[in-house]
Chains A and B, each alone.
Chain A
Amino acid sequence: AQSVTQLGSHVSVSEGALVLLRCNYSSSVPPYLFWYVQYPNQGLQLLLKYTSAATLVKGINGFEAEFKKSETSFHLTKPSAHMSDAAEYFCAVSESGANSKLTFGKGITLSVRP
């Protein structure tokens, strides 16, 4: 069965600092991996996805993530945090490709200090 672990529930960084949000997955087959962002009282917006092409994936708003099979990780990074990045971030995994179920991690809340 597939699963996602997002360690810690809250990360706080200063504006302009590196953002690193960790995601580890468990999957019995090559996975498809996703990062979503959620602003308060809104739905989820896709940041980026890994679907077995390039291991370094670039997304919207300057975010990127690297798929590392040996570490079963898909950590999300952004070189320089902006105040508007404050939100909740979810990592998700799918084993079955298109139109298949996603399993989500518990989410990480990112705070950005001025």
Chain B
Amino acid sequence: DGGITQSPKYLFRKEGQNVTLSCEQNLNHDAMYWYRQDPGQGLRLIYYSQIVNDFQKGDIAEGYSVSREKKESFPLTVTSAQKNPTAFYLCASSGPGFYEQYFGPGTRLTVT
């Protein structure tokens, strides 16, 4: 059945390493989004893409990078330049005529 998958569910990395979080959707949605969630801060937009091969920075893009080579996939790389990468990361998508976004289950990243 259709949906958004994020893998892995939990991810552990050492400080100074880059790490890539996966996001795949089979909803045929054009737009995809990455959010970061920290306790008490709600969701903050990192990057979004409204079409293949195009993406825009969100509110907190520093230290992150993305690519959108396929409609189904929107991976997020957390680079060593991100000063505080430990967080819960959520991927979402939206399709033509849809005002709401649909969310994946999230990846909890811990960097020590």
Contact = CB atoms under 8 A, between A and B. Distances in A.
Contact of A106 (B40, B58, B102, B104): B40
Interface stretch (B13-21, B79-87, B92-100): B92-100
B25 to A, nearest CB: 12
Contacts of B31: 99
B96 A99 contact: yes
B22 interface: no
A9 interface: yes
A43 B97 contact: no
Contacts of B41: 106
Interface in A20-51: 32, 34, 36, 41-46, 49, 51
A74 interface: no
A99 B58 contact: no
B42 interface: yes
Interface in B14-48: 30-31, 33, 35, 40-45, 48
Interface residues of A, number: 24
Q: Classify chain B: how many residues form its interface, as a range.
A: 20 to 34
A90 interface: yes
A113 interface: no
Nearest to B91: A43
Nearest to A32: B99
B63 interface: no
B64 interface: no
Given A43-B105, A99-B50, A9 B40 contact: yes
Nearest to B95: A99
A55 to B, nearest CB: 16
Interface of B: 4, 6, 30-31, 33, 35, 40-45, 48, 50, 58, 88, 90, 92, 94-106, 108
